[in-house]
Amino acid sequence: MITTISHDKSIHEETEYDVVIAGAGAVGMALALALNRLPHHRILILEALASHALQPLRPAADQGRILALSWSSIQTLSALGIWPALSSEATPISAIHVSQRGWLGNTLLQADTLGLEALGWVVREPVLRWVMAKALQSSGVAMRYGTRLTAASSDMSRVTLHLHNESKPITTSLLVGADGTDSSVRAMFDLPASRRSLPEQALVFSLHCAAECGTVAYERFLEGGVLGVLPLGGRHVGCTYVADPQRVERLASQHEAGFLQAVDAMMGGRLRPMALLGETRCFGLPWLMAQTITAPRTVLIGNAAHTMHPVAAQGFNLGLRDVAALALALAKGPDPGDQAVLACYARERLADYRQTACVLQALLKVYGMRLPGLAVLRGLGLGLLDVMQDLGDAVSLWGMGAGRPYLPALWLGGIHDVS
């Protein structure tokens, strides 16, 4: 079934657009909201899954993937006009506590020492998509659900797209691939990418705790893994445990009482969990880095361009930096598919991807090594970071993207952004 959402019935019959976005995930919808603010842009969003269409009721508060939104992401969402509707659904992060099990060293990055309301916010991904879809419904952007690209070709002036179960092709000045790690757009244009499966697995779950959990996020480095905890308001928290498959399976296979006891031990008694909320979910971790993110009148954004280890919370935050950069680039000229504009965008974004990947790899190497004495040094390092307040503040600001646009949000958001 193909569902088209728009208040302008003439758009339903359109076959020519300025921008077509493949993928109605949060990154694709954010780009549509950004470009809709530019003059003379006819925009179409294509989504293969009919289930992603706007539902009449707000998603349940205890369902769906948890996102940690960096400070710079909040600024982007505010600029798009959706933060007022989303803020009531989000839980602020007042501090991030980073520690290593078995060692006294730790660091606490606090919002109030930086003069900020919060370091970031936590929101359920289905709620975010629902708020975005509602905003798009009243924007005039055409949205087609339950259809997919079957073929695409480009020349110097247009991209021609063929859709499943539609007889007429459509054309566009710019095709944006926001269709995830297994991007059809990337495959159709033979854009090269490095891809592998990471050795770790992730286990995602939510907990009901014995007392109010406050607004502190935790990142706890353990032997052979890392546990991230995000506040969800009240006595609820969302957790992601990333470790080798054997450790993940051992935890996931325990009965509830044993599971809660093991998690409480991992956190050093800080959580006092009383019950699991919903089901636990286990999945592998793909890693992908597109070596080229543009083709003639075509560009990749979000996970279609980069899928990284979740310890850096880079999925949605990095994708929103793509959105902000691409919207700024396209605002400079009348032709959204201009190759010079896309080339400039690609240079900037690829530099950000490389910088993010290098810092992430260094972090993973340090915390993945098991050399004698290295745990002591790691613990001392965390302790020194807490003592050196100026350095701690600098790390916080860098992680939130303050000072320069689109800086990696390495320290913000735990490890939950695993789209």
Q: Tens digit of pLDDT for each residue in 365-403?
A: 554 544 333 333 333 333 333 333 444 444 444 445 543
Per-domain boundaries in the chain: 3-195+287-400
The 10s digit of each residue's pLDDT in 214-249 is 999 888 888 888 888 999 999 999 998 989 999 999
Contact present, 65 and 419 (Cβ < 8 Å): yes
Other beta carbons within 10 Å of 17: 23
Question: Could you tell me the pLDDT band of residue 363, with boundaries at 50, 70 and 90?
Answer: low
Helices (H), 82-235: 83-87, 125-137, 184-188
Nearest in space to 316 (alpha carbons), one of 128, 187, 51: 128
Residue 225 belongs to what H/E stretch? strand 225-231
The pair of three-digit structure tokens given for residue 16, joined into one six-digit string? 């020519």
pLDDT beyond 90 at 297 = yes
Can you tell me the distance from the alpha carbon of 329 to that of 341, in angstroms, rounded to the nearest whole number? 6
| Residues 5/160, Cβ–Cβ less than 8 Å | no
- Residue 77 in tokens: 């969402």
Higher-confidence position of 374 and 3: 3
Tokens of 135: 């905003």
- 209: tokens are 């705790």
Q: pLDDT grade, residue 157 (50/70/90)?
A: very high
Structure-token pair, residue 100: 């290593």
pLDDT reading at 405 higher than 60: no
Residue spans of beta strands (DSSP E) within 291-398: 294-295, 298-300, 306-307
Which residues does 147 contact at the CB level (< 8 Å), separation at least 6? 2, 46, 47, 48, 163, 164, 165, 166
Q: What is the pLDDT of residue 404?
A: 37
8-state DSSP, 311: G
* DSSP E strand stretches across 6-128: 16-22, 43-47, 66-70, 91-93, 95-100, 106-110, 120-124
> Could you tell me which residue, 307 or 174, shows the higher pLDDT?
174
Tell me if 61 sits within 8 A of 88, measured CB to CB.
Answer: no
Residue that has been written with the tokens 């919060």 in this structure: 118
Q: In the structure, what pLDDT confidence band is assigned to residue 128 with cuts at 50, 70 and 90?
A: very high
% of the chain exceeding 90 in pLDDT: 48
Rounded to 5°, the CA angle 345-350-355 comes to 135
Nearest of 33, 30, 69, 75 to residue 317 by alpha carbon? 69
User: What DSSP character marks residue 114?
Assistant: G
Query: 419: pLDDT confidence band, cut at 50, 70 and 90?
Result: very low
Query: Whole-prediction pTM value?
Result: 0.84
Torsion angle, CA of 194/197/199/205, rounded to 10 degrees? 120
Does 291 have pLDDT greater than 50? yes
Average pLDDT taken over every residue of the chain: 81
Q: Give Cβ neighbours of residue 346 (< 8 Å, ≥ 6 apart).
A: 292, 293, 294, 299
Q: Is the pLDDT of residue 79 over 70?
A: yes
pLDDT higher at 245 or 50: 245
Contact status, residue 26 vs residue 129, Cβ threshold 8 Å: yes
User: How much is the average pLDDT of 257-276?
Assistant: 93
CATH number at 3-195+287-400: 3.50.50.60
Average pLDDT over residues 250-258: 95
Contact by Cβ (8 Å): 196, 287: yes
* All residues at 6 or more sequence positions from 48 whose CB lies less than 8 Å from its CB, including other chains: 146, 147, 148, 179
pLDDT grade for 98, boundaries at 50, 70 and 90: confident
Can you tell me the distance from the alpha carbon of 205 to that of 104, in angstroms, rounded to the nearest whole number?
A: 27
Q: How sure is the predictor about 268, in pLDDT bands with cuts at 50, 70 and 90? A: confident
State phi, psi for 337 to the nearest 5 degrees.
-100, 10
Alpha-carbon distance of 323 to 328, in angstroms, equals 9
- Give the β-pairing of 91-93 and 66-70: unpaired
Q: Sheet containing 95-100: which strands, arranged edge to edge?
A: 106-110, 95-100, 216-222, 225-231, 236-243, 193-209, 273-290, 306-307
Report the candidate in 175, 181, 130 with the shortest Cα–Cα distance to residue 31.
Answer: 175
Pick from 2-11, 78-87, 226-235: least confident: 2-11
What angle (nearest 5°) sits at the alpha carbon of residue 169, between those of residues 329 and 322?
Answer: 20
pLDDT tens digits along 313-362: 567 888 999 999 999 999 988 999 999 999 999 999 998 888 777 766 66
Distance CA 357, CA 66 (A): 22
Cα 306 to Cα 66: distance, rounded to the nearest angstrom: 19
Which tops the pLDDT comparison, 296 or 167?
296
Range among 192-196, 266-270, 283-287 rated most confident: 192-196
Query: Beta strands 95-100 and 225-231: pairing type?
Result: unpaired
pLDDT tier at 411, thresholds 50, 70, 90: very low
**Where does the pLDDT of residue 70 fall: very low under 50, low under 70, confident under 90, or very high at 90 and above?**
confident
Indicate the pLDDT class of residue 13, thresholds 50, 70 and 90: low
